[in-house]
Structure 1
Amino acid sequence: MIGKLKGTLDEIDEDHCVIDVHGVGYVAFCPARTLAALPSPGEAVVLFIETYVREDMIRLYGFRTALEREWFRLLMNNVQGVGAKVALAVLSTLAPADLANAIALRDIAMVSRAPGVGKKVAERIVTELKNKAPAYAGETTGTIGLKQELGEGVAPAPVADAVSALVNLGYSRDIAANAVAGALKAAGEGADSAKLIRFGLKELAR
C-alpha cells in the first residue's frame, strides 16, 4: 500500500493531480482544498495517500495532511452511504477543524453545503461521527469539547456565563465559545466568569 508520495508535481486537473516520483507518474484524486493549495507544476510536493484497491482498479487519494486523510477514512468507514466521492466533496468544502466543529454543534446545514451531500446524508455524518469527532479535531479538540458541554447544558456555570456574556456583546455563539476556550487555557480551569470574560475579550482582540 502507498501511504505517502514525495516527488515533483507534474500536473493539476479538476479532481486530481499527477506526481512524478523518480520518473513514475502517480495519479492522486484529491479534495478541491488540497488541489488549490498545491504548488506550481515542476515544484516539490508531498501528499499523504490513501490507497483504494478493487478487483478492477487501484486508486490513490491524496491529502495535504495526515489529519485530512484520517477524516477521509472516518467518513468512508463509519457513515453509511458515504463513498469516496462524497467524502472528497465534504473535505473539499470543510477543513478538518470546521467539520469537527459542525459535527460537535450538530450543524447539519454546514455539512450539507458540500456538493452532492443532501440533508439525510449530512444528518448521518453528524449523528454517526458525533462521538468520534473530538479525536480527529486536531488543535481544536478543547474547543470542540467545550461546545459539546455547552450544547448539552453541562458546562461549568462560569464558562456558560462567560459565553453568554460575549454573545450578549454581539459575538456569535461559535466565536464566543472559541474565545472562552482560549481564555480557559490562559486563566485556568478554576477561573470565575469575570476573569473568563476579560481573558475572552483579550482573545477576541488578537
Structure 2
Amino acid sequence: MIGKLTGKVDSTGDDWVMLDVGGVGYIVFCSSRTLSVLPGEGEVTSLLIETHVREDHIHLFGFATAAEKEWYLLLGTVQGVGAKVGLAILSAISPDELSVAIAAQDKTTITRANGVGPKLAIRIMNELKDKIAKLSLGTSGEIVDSSASEGKAAATPMAISEDAISALVNLGYRRSEAYSAVAKISSEQGADTPLEELIRGGLAELMR
C-alpha cells in the first residue's frame, strides 16, 4: 500500500499529476486545490496517497495536506460520494469551509461542487455532522445546530445564537458565513451575549 510519493512533477492534467519517482511515472488523481499548489514540471514535490485497489484497476489519489486526505476519507463513508465526487467536493470547498458548512447545515455551499445535488448535500450533512470536530459558541461549548435547537426555550444560548444566524441569513448572507460570524462574536463576548449584540457584532464582522 502506497502512503506517500515524493518525486518530480512530470506532467499534469485537469484532475491528475504524473510524478516521476526514480524513473517510474505514477499517475495520481488530485483535487484542483492540490494541483494548484504543485511546483512546476521537473521540480520535486511530495503527496500523501490513498490507494484504491479494485479488480480491474489500481488508482492513486494524492493530497497536499493531511486535512484534505482526512476529509477525502470521511466523505467516502457517505453513500453516493465516490472517489471522483470526493475530489470534486474538495476542489470546490476547502476543508475549513466544509467543516463550517456541515456544522451550520449549509447545503448551498456543499452543492457548489460538481456532481453534488441538494439530496446528496443533505445526506453529507446528516451523516457527517456527528463525526466532525464541531465549532463551539462561547464558553458553554454549546453547538449551533438548527435541528438541535428546535423545540428549545428561546432564552437558551443555543436558541439565541440560532436566531442571530437566521437574522443574518435573512439579510442575504450565506448560512455558513453567518454561523462563523456569530460563533466569533459569542466566543469573544460570552455565551450569554444578547441577541441584538450578536446580530450587530455578526453584521460588523461580515462587513469587514
Q: TM-score over 0.5 for the alignment? A: yes
Q: 2:180 maps to what in 1?
A: 178
1:57: which partner in 2? Answer: 57
**1:17 aligns to what?**
17
CA RMSD of aligned residues (A): 3.2
Q: Report the Cα offset of residue 52 of structure 1.
A: 0.8
Normalising to structure 2: TM-score of the pair? 0.74
From the superposition, tell whether residues 103 and 9 of structure 1 become closer, same or farther in structure 2 (CA, over 3 Å). same
Q: Residues 19, 79 of structure 1: CA spacing in aligned structure 2 closer, same or farther, 3 A cutoff?
A: same
Q: Percent identity?
A: 50
104-113 or 161-170, larger mean C-alpha shift: 161-170
Question: C-alpha distance in 2, partners of 1:179/1:21?
Answer: 45
Give aligned pairs, total.
199
Indicate conservation of the 8 Å contact 1:52/1:60, yes or no. yes
Is the 2:100–2:180 Cα contact (8 Å) retained in structure 1?
Answer: no
Cα distance in 2 for partners of 1:33, 1:102 equals 18
- CA 1:171–1:83 in 2, change beyond 3 Å: closer, same or farther? closer
* Residue type at the aligned position of 1:111: I
Gaps of 5+ in 1: none
Q: Is the Cα contact below 8 Å between 2:49 and 2:61 reproduced in 1? A: yes
2: CA distance, partners of 1:127 / 1:84: 20
Structure 2 distance, partners of 1:150, 1:127, is: 10
Q: Distance in 1 between matches of 2:172 and 2:81?
A: 37
- Give the Cα–Cα distance (whole angstroms) in 2 for the partners of residues 171 and 105 of structure 1: 13
Task: Give yes or no for contact 1:3–1:51 (8 Å, CA) kept in 2.
Answer: yes
Which residue of 2 is the match for residue 88 of structure 1? 87
SS at match of 1:56: coil
1:56 is displaced (CA, Å) by 2.7
Larger mean Cα displacement after TM superposition, 147-156 or 16-25: 147-156
Question: Secondary structure, in 3 states, of the residue corresponding to 1:85?
Answer: helix
**Deviation (angstroms), 1:31:** 1.2
Task: Compare 182-191 and 17-26 and name the one that shifted more.
Answer: 182-191
1:84–1:176 CA distance, 2 compared to 1 (3 A): closer
Equivalent position of 1:8 in the other structure: 8
Give the C-alpha shift of residue 44 in structure 1: 2.6
Letter in 2 for 1:29: F
1:192–1:121 CA distance, 2 compared to 1 (3 A): closer
| Whole-angstrom distance in 1 between the partners of 2:171 and 2:11 | 49
Report if the CA contact (8 A) 2:7-2:46 is conserved. yes
**Structure 1 residue 204 displacement after superposition:** 5.4
**Conserved in 2, the CA contact under 8 Å of 1:146 and 1:181?**
no
Q: 1:178 to 1:26 in 2, by over 3 A?
A: same
CA distance in 2, matches of 1:9, 1:65: 17
How many angstroms apart in 2 are the aligned matches of 1:40 and 1:110? Answer: 31
Q: In the aligned structure 1, how far is the partner of 2:114 from the partner of 2:32? A: 11
SS of the residue 1:61 aligns to: strand
Unaligned runs of 5+ in 2: none
Residues in 2 aligned to 1:120 and 1:159: alpha-carbon distance in whole angstroms: 26
Which deviations, in whole Å up to 9, do the C-alpha atoms of 1:41-98 show, x marking residues without a partner? 122322111111123321110112111111111121x211221111111112111122
Indicate whether 1:113 and 2:112 are aligned: yes
For 1:85 and 1:148, the matched residues in 2 are separated by: 29
- Contact kept? 1:150, 1:160, Cα under 8 Å: no
Bigger helix fraction: 1
